[in-house]
Chains A and B, each alone.
Chain A
């Protein structure tokens, strides 16, 4: 199902390539922003426990995950 739907979507989107775009600059964002910085001062923030409480598994102030390596499919 996904395969046929994806090709229909890509066929529709391919219409973009018929436009004359050679000399057009790309636009990634509505605002011409570069880096936005704030003063480097310490501000209050939530405690680790506030975030860890919604984790599927946590231990000792860390998120707990299954082994990263091993048991390949």
Chain B
């Protein structure tokens, strides 16, 4: 395999004319040709469109025109981001064949930055899952060990980067769907502050939790992508109006004096010992670099899982009502519209999606609303208050990203056991705060381990500074 190059170095080389965007693209397409049959990272590879985009970037450089910070960098897009005229499926039969009439804002911003979209990546159907086993188009395999899952729901985006099909990719994170697959595939994965990246054109799962974020091999690449996609978008009324931080600028900042808290409630028996020792090692590395380390309690953190599995299905049951066989997607004909809606959904949705729609409608139904949805909303408040209090004493918090490393296919057939994967990542979605996973060593099986860095709302600057230090400490 040719040596891996980072997005930062590819963009610098393309801009300087040391390599053409087209040649960079062809290298990546050749790797896809060689290994995609085994990995199944993509629902669709848009090779021809990518070739014309790359040629256009090369033409602009030849003409002496200014190109963006991601010029010539191939990027893989999770297949729940709308791409104009290009099939967008959410890995569901109900959307199979649908071609959106517009681009997601994140897709436009990547293109404006010069990135070359090479395809749409596989996911758990409608982003519901933690292994990419729930895709209607077959599972994605972990490039580091094909007997294991890549994580999910953004498993295809993680696998695409881990297999060097693209140096960067985009995922969405509703309960850990970027961070968990990043940990499983040995990558950096970011869940930004809610509202920092526009959700316009991201097909909704749970609207108060969904955020878009990047996968990459390096912290600098993740920062470069964030700098290109973050910032206010008038098309998303929940997008933050202030200026987005420049994260590429903070990677060499010192961590000395920073107060780092290890979340003791996420260091219990639920976590594999290898995950816990990675966190302790990361803490020691930050201490060696001048940070102070302490323990912090988030007593309600573990209850976040229960709250999440009420809130997310409740919001999903509302969002997914739009798949009715009327305006787009699958229609199964029947004698009247009601029967047509039912037949279309029965045929179009997979089991996990049906499970969550039923769970959500149940939790929202009149007799059970207070007991389930009402309680979950209150637990959300408790968790947010506990984090706010922790951030009075600490600048960032760290924890394992996942309870275990990547597991084998079929290992978690029980839904509750599968949901446990999200134990450490869910709290940040409930609060809206940013969090990211950085690879930190391997476990007994030689699989990568992720350490999660959590920061207060709009705390990306300190989060990336700490991430960069953790990366340097392993160099």
A residues contacting B by CB (< 8 A) are 2, 5-6, 8-10, 12-17, 19, 21, 24-31, 33, 36, 38, 46, 50-51, 53-57, 63, 65-73
Contact = CB atoms under 8 A, between A and B. Distances in A.
Interface in B340-395: 340, 351, 354-355, 358-359, 362-363, 371-372, 374-382, 384
B337 A55 contact: no
B328 A30 contact: no
B339 interface: yes
B355 A65 contact: no
A17 B351 CA distance: 27
B325 interface: yes
Given A13-B372, A56-B328, A68-B338, 14 more contacts: A2-B354, A9-B419, A12-B305, A19-B300, A21-B375, A30-B457, A33-B238, A54-B100, A55-B328, A66-B333, A66-B336, A71-B336, A71-B339, A72-B336
Given A15-B303, A16-B306, A31-B195, A56 B326 contact: yes
A8 B432 contact: no
Given A66-B334, A66-B336, A31 B194 contact: yes
Contacts of B333: 66
A37 B420 CA distance: 39
9 contacts: A5-B415, A6-B358, A21-B382, A24-B381, A26-B377, A31-B238, A51-B101, A51-B327, A67-B336
Contacts of B327: 51, 54-55, 63
Contacts of B381: 24-27
B50 to A, nearest CB: 23
Interface residues of B, number: 60
A27 B208 CA distance: 10
B376 A19 contact: no
A19 B303 contact: yes
Secondary structure class of chain A's binding surface, majority of residues? loop
A16 B432 contact: no
A32 B414 CA distance: 36
A61 to B, nearest CB: 13
A72 B310 CA distance: 33
B335 interface: yes
Given A6-B358, A8-B414, A19-B379, A13 B309 contact: yes
B431 interface: yes
Nearest to A38: B234
Interface string B228-243: 0000001001100000
A58 B152 CA distance: 36
Query: Residue among A6, A8, A21 with the most chain B CB within 10 A?
Result: A21
B331 interface: yes
B375 A28 contact: no
Nearest to B415: A5
A12 B309 contact: yes
Contacts of A50: 101
